[in-house]
C-alpha cells in the first residue's frame, strides 16, 4: 500500500511466472517505469533488460524536460482519474526511495475564458462544444472519485490568485492535489531504482526490429546483434514505427516548442508556493511557477507536422512571441518577460487522442505503448507497470481494454 492507503500495481505481485525474461525498448518515462516494475513484480525471478538508443532521458527524448504537469482533473474518462491517484502514490514511492521528492503538489489552475459573449473552446477539450461542457463532465468524475477541487469565479480568482486576471476570464477550477513532476530527474531516479532492483541497462544500443518468434521474441540491434527474450515492451514513443514498421504513419507527429522565460525581477507571486501550474482550456496555453530561475510556458495546440522525431527544428521567433502574448493575456506579469531558452519536443498523437497500449501478437509476446505525448508523463509509473504486467503474464490488465489500437 502506498500514499493514503491507495493500492498500486506494485502491491499486487505476480503469482506463477511462466515468462522469465523481458526486454524493454526505450529509456523514456514509460520505458524506465516498465523496467523497474518488471523487476519488482518479478521479485528477482525475471531477467529484465532495458535498451536505449542513446542515454535514458537524453535531450532529444520525449521525456526530457525540467517539469511536466501532474493532475487529477483529466477529462471525462474515469480511468485517467483513477490512474492519477495511483500515479501519485507511485511518485511518492519513487521520491521516498530516491531520497528527493519527484512530485510537487502545488496545485493546477484551469481557466475558462469568454470573448464576444461566448465561451472560447481550445483543442484541449475537443470534441466538446465548450470548455464548460468538458469541465462539468470532468468534475463529475472527480466527484465519483472523491477527488477535491475548488471552483472560483473571476472575482474570487482575483482574491485567491491575483497573478491571474484579465477581462476574458470567466471562471476557474483549482485541482489542489495536482502540481508538477521534475521530469528529467524522475527519469534518472526510476532508472537508478530499476538498476538497483536488477535491471540490466544497455545504453547506446539501438533496437532496429522486434519479432515475435515461437514462444518468445527476438530483438535485432544495430550492428547485427540479436537477443532472445520471453517477451518485450516497446516504449519508443515517436520512434515506434522504426521498430514495428506496420505502425509507421498511424500516429500524427508534431513539433511542440517549449519556452522558458526569465523570472521577472521582484515577482515573488510567481514562485512555487504562491502560484500553481496553470492551463487555459480556452487557448490551450499552460505554464509553471518559477523553477530553477525560469518559468516554462507552452502552447498545447499542434505545431508543425513532421514524419519523424528527428525532423524537429528550432522554434521560430514569431511562434515564441505568440505564446508569450497568449499567456500574458491572463498572467500580465509575463508580458515583458525575456526568453531564457527554448526547446522543441514533439507529440505523437493517436487518431482519437487516446493512448495506445496494446499487444502486437495474440500471445502478447510483444506489447507496446505509443500515442501518449503531451498526456502520459504524469501516468508514467502506472502505464509502465501495466505494460510490464501484460508482458510478464501474457494477460491484458482489465483497465487497458479501452486502449487497444483498434
Res 5: pLDDT: 56
223 CB neighbour count, 10 Å cutoff: 8
- CA–CA dist 381, 221 (Å, integer): 26
Query: What is the rounded CA–CA span in Å between residue 341 and residue 345?
Result: 13
What pLDDT does 4 receive?
55
The whole-number mean pLDDT for each consecutive block of 10 residues of the chain, a chain of 406 residues, reads: 67 85 98 98 96 95 95 96 97 96 97 70 76 93 97 95 91 97 97 98 97 96 95 96 89 95 88 96 94 95 93 91 93 93 94 93 96 91 98 96 91
253 and 305 Cβ atoms separated by less than 8 Å: yes
Helix (H) and strand (E) counts in the chain? 8, 22
Q: Cα 377 to chain center, whole Å?
A: 2
In the chain the domains, ranked by start, together with CATH numbers, are 3-68+183-248+352-403 (3.50.50.60), 108-176+252-349 (3.30.9.10)
pLDDT at 235: 97
DSSP state for residue 338 in the 8-state scheme: P
Q: DSSP code of 371?
A: S
Q: What is the pLDDT of residue 373?
A: 76
Burial of 354 (0-12, 13-18, 19+ CB in 10 A): middle
What pLDDT does residue 167 have? 85
Half-sphere exposure of 342 (CA within 13 A, CB side): 22
pLDDT in the model for residue 120: 62
The span from the CA of 307 to the CA of 382, in Å, is: 28
pLDDT of residue 223: 86
CB atoms closer than 10 angstroms to residue 17: 14
What are the phi and psi torsion angles at 141 (to 5°)?
-65, -40
pLDDT for the residue 6: 63
Burial of 380 (0-12, 13-18, 19+ CB in 10 A): buried
Contact 25, 236 (CB under 8 A): yes
In b/e form, how buried is each residue of 143-161, taking b as 16+ CB within 10 angstroms? Answer: eeeebebeebebeebeeeb
- Within 8 A by CB and 6+ apart from 371, the residues are 251, 348, 349, 350, 353, 354, 355, 356
Task: Say whether 305 sits in a helix, a strand or coil.
Answer: strand
Write down the pTM of the prediction.
Answer: 0.95
> How many CB atoms within 10 Å of residue 209?
13
Question: For strand 294-299 and strand 252-262, is the pairing parallel, antiparallel, or unpaired?
Answer: antiparallel
Amino acid at each position: 500500500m502506498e500514499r493514503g492507503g491507495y493500492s498500486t500495481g506494485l502491491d499486487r505481485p505476480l503469482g506463477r511466472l511462466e515468462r522469465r525474461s523481458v526486454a524493454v525498448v526505450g529509456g523514456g518515462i514509460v520505458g524506465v517505469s516498465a523496467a523497474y516494475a518488471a523487476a519488482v513484480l518479478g521479485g528477482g525471478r525475471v531477467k529484465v533488460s532495458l535498451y536505449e538508443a542513446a542515454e535514458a532521458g537524453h535531450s532529444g527524448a520525449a521525456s526530457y524536460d525540467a517539469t511536466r504537469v501532474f493532475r487529477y482533473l483529466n477529462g471525462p474518462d474515469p480511468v485517467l482519474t483513477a490512474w492519477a491517484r495511483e500515479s501519485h502514490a507511485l511518485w511518492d514511492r519513487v521520491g521516498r526511495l530516491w531520497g528527493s521528492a519527484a512530485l510537487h503538489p502545488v496545485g493546477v489552475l484551469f481557466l475558462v475564458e469568454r470573448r464576444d459573449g461566448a465561451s472560447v473552446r481550445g483543442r484541449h477539450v475537443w470534441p466538446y462544444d465548450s470548455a464548460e461542457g468538458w469541465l462539468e463532465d470532468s468534475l463529475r468524475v472527480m466527484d465519483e472519485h472523491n477527488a477535491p477541487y475548488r471552483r472560483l469565479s473571476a472575482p474570487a480568482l482575483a482574491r485567491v490568485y491575483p497573478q491571474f486576471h484579465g477581462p476574458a476570464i470567466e471562471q476557474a477550477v483549482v485541482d489542489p492535489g495536482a502540481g508538477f513532476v521534475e521530469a528529467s530527474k524522475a527519469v534518472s531516479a526510476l532508472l537508478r531504482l530499476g538498476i538497483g532492483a536488477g535491471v540490466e541497462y544497455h545504453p547506446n544500443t539501438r533496437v532496429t526490429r522486434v519479432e515475435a518468434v515461437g514462444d518468445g521474441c527476438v530483438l535485432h540491434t544495430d550492428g547485427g546483434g540479436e537477443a532472445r527474450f520471453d517477451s518485450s515492451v516497446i516504449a519508443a514513443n515517436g520512434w515506434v514505427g522504426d521498430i514495428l514498421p506496420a505502425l509507421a504513419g498511424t500516429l500524427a507527429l508534431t513539433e511542440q516548442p517549449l519556452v522558458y522565460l526569465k523570472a521577472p525581477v521582484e515577482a515573488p507571486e510567481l514562485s512555487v508556493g504562491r502560484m500553481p501550474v496553470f492551463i487555459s482550456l480556452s487557448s490551450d496555453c499552460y505554464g509553471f511557477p518559477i523553477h530553477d530561475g525560469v518559468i516554462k510556458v507552452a502552447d498545447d495546440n499542434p505545431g508543425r507536422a513532421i514524419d519523424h522525431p528527428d525532423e524537429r527544428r528550432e522554434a521560430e521567433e514569431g511562434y515564441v512571441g505568440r505564446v508569450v502574448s497568449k499567456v500574458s493575456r491572463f498572467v500580465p506579469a509575463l508580458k515583458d518577460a525575456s526568453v531564457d531558452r527554448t526547446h522543441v519536443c514533439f507529440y505523437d498523437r493517436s487518431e482519437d487522442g487516446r493512448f495506445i497500449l496494446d499487444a502486437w501478437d495474440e500471445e502478447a509476446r510483444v506489447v507496446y505503448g505509443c500515442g501518449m505525448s503531451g498526456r502520459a508523463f504524469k501516468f508514467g509509473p502506472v502505464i509502465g507497470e501495466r505494460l510490464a504486467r501484460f508482458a510478464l503474464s501474457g494477460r491484458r490488465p482489465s483497465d487497458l481494454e479501452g486502449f487497444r489500437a483498434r
